[in-house]
C-alpha cells in the first residue's frame, strides 16, 4: 500500500502546474519577441537588395530599348505592362515601368509596381530635341540634349542629380503611406524627386529606392551603338 506522501509525489510528476506553465509561456514569448525584431530587419534588407537588383535590370533594358528604337519607352498608365503612347509622344510622362514592353519583372520586393517618369523629349518619335546638334535619323534626342528631371537630398534640398532623361522609383514597404514630405515628393507627379538614406520611423520616414538613367551613360551607349554621331 502506497503512502500518502508517495501519492503526492506521483501526482506532482504528472505535469506542470498553472504557475509553471505561465512562466514557460512568458519566457517563450520573450524569446520569440526578441527574435522577431532581427528577423524583420533581415527580411527588409533582403527585399531592398532584391529591389535594387531589379531596378538595375530595368535600367539596362531601358537603354537597350533606346538603342533599338531610338527613344526611351513611355510609362505604362493603364497597368497592363505595355508603354502607352498617343501619336508621336507619351500618353503621360509619369506612370508605372512598362515591364511587358521591356521584358523585365513587374514588381519590387514588396510586390508593388515600380513608378517611372520620362522626359518626353527623350521618348517621342520626333527626331532630335531642338538643341544645336544635327538630328540623327530615327533618334528622339541628340548628344547635346538634357532632360528635365531632377533629384534632391530632401524636398527643396541640395541637388543630387539633374537634367535626367528618366527615373525609376520603388516606394518601399510602406508604399508611400507615410506623411513624410520627402516620400511625398516621389509620388506627386512633378519632375522633382528625393533620394536619401533609409530612415525608419519618425515624422519623415523614408524607405523609397530611387535610381535613374544617367544622361552621359545613355549618350555614350548610343554613340557606341552608332545611333548618334
Pick the closest to residue 195 from 227, 229, 161, 218 (CA basis).
Answer: 161
Q: What is the spatial distance between Cα 79 and Cα 170, in angstroms, rounded to a whole number?
A: 16
Q: Coil, strand or helix: which one is 137? A: coil
Each of the 229 residues of the chain gets a pLDDT tens digit; together they read 455 555 544 455 556 687 777 777 777 776 666 655 576 778 888 999 999 999 999 999 999 999 999 999 999 999 999 999 999 999 999 999 999 999 999 999 999 999 999 999 999 999 999 898 888 999 999 999 999 999 999 999 999 999 999 999 999 998 766 667 899 999 999 999 999 999 876 667 899 999 999 999 999 999 999 999 8
Angle between the N-to-C axes of helices 215-224 and 18-69, in degrees from 0 to 180, rounded to the nearest 10: 50
C-alpha neighbours within 13 Å on the C-beta side of residue 145: 32
Radius of gyration over every alpha carbon of the chain, rounded to an integer in angstroms = 27
* 126, 140 Cβ separation under 8 angstroms: yes
Amino acid at each position: 500500500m502506497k503512502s500518502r506522501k508517495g501519492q503526492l509525489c506521483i501526482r506532482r510528476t504528472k505535469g506542470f502546474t498553472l504557475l509553471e506553465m505561465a512562466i514557460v509561456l512568458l519566457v517563450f514569448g520573450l524569446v520569440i519577441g526578441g527574435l522577431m525584431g532581427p528577423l524583420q530587419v533581415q527580411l527588409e534588407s533582403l527585399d531592398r537588395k532584391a529591389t535594387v537588383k531589379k531596378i538595375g535590370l530595368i535600367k539596362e533594358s531601358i537603354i537597350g530599348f533606346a538603342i533599338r528604337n531610338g527613344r526611351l519607352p513611355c510609362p505604362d498608365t493603364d497597368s497592363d505592362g505595355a508603354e502607352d503612347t498617343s501619336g508621336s509622344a507619351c500618353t503621360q510622362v509619369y506612370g508605372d515601368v512598362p515591364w511587358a514592353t521591356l521584358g523585365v519583372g513587374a514588381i519590387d520586393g514588396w510586390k508593388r509596381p515600380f513608378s517611372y517618369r520620362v522626359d518626353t523629349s527623350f521618348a517621342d518619335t520626333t527626331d532630335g530635341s531642338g538643341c544645336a546638334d544635327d538630328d540623327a535619323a530615327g533618334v528622339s534626342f541628340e548628344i547635346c540634349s538634357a532632360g528635365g528631371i531632377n533629384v534632391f537630398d530632401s524636398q527643396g534640398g541640395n541637388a543630387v542629380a539633374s537634367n535626367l532623361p528618366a527615373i525609376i522609383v520603388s516606394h518601399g514597404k510602406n508604399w508611400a503611406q507615410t506623411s513624410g514630405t520627402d516620400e511625398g515628393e516621389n509620388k506627386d507627379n512633378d519632375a522633382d524627386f528625393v533620394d536619401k538614406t533609409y530612415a525608419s520611423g519618425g515624422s519623415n520616414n523614408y524607405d523609397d529606392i530611387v535610381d535613374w538613367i544617367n544622361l552621359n551613360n545613355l549618350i555614350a551607349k548610343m554613340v557606341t551603338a552608332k545611333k548618334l554621331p
